[in-house]
Amino acid sequence: MNNAIPLCALGRSRFGSIAWPIFLVVGTSVLSGGGCHKQQPRAAAPVPVKVKVLEPEDIVVSRRFSASVEPLQTTSLAFKLAGTVQSLHRPRA
């Protein structure tokens, strides 16, 4: 057997006809009032770091560099006649 009291009857019989709407308004205000306050962000704790003092230094500027130059593209050439190639025609792009 279920002894539950309907919610609509609970408002009239226990709290009276005026108390139930007041309870509803106050309860809603209390529950929704938590969103009105913004929490302040907490300051982060200091992080330990290593510090090094820099000193000015003389820099030697050079115009000579060692490097290997490699072609972007290569091709094989074969000639029907023996001899030395003096120049190749290269059309402008």
pLDDT at 89 over 80: yes
Higher pLDDT, 16 or 26: 26
Q: Are 20 and 11 in contact (CB under 8 A)?
A: yes
CA angle 88, 91, 93 (to 5 degrees): 140
The residue assigned the tokens 């226990």 is: 14
Q: What is the mean pLDDT of residues 61-89?
A: 85
pTM: 0.22
pLDDT at 18 over 50: yes
Q: What is the token pair recorded at 63? A: 């115009």
| 3-class secondary structure per residue, 3-67 | CCCCHHHHHHHCCHHHHHHHHHHHHHHHHHHHHHCCCCCCCCCCCCCCCCCCCCCCCCCCCCCCC
pLDDT digits (tens, 9 = 90+) for 26-66: 777 766 665 556 677 788 888 898 889 989 998 888 888 88
| Domain spans in the chain, listed from the N-terminal domain onward | 7-35
Per-chain mean pLDDT for the chain: 76
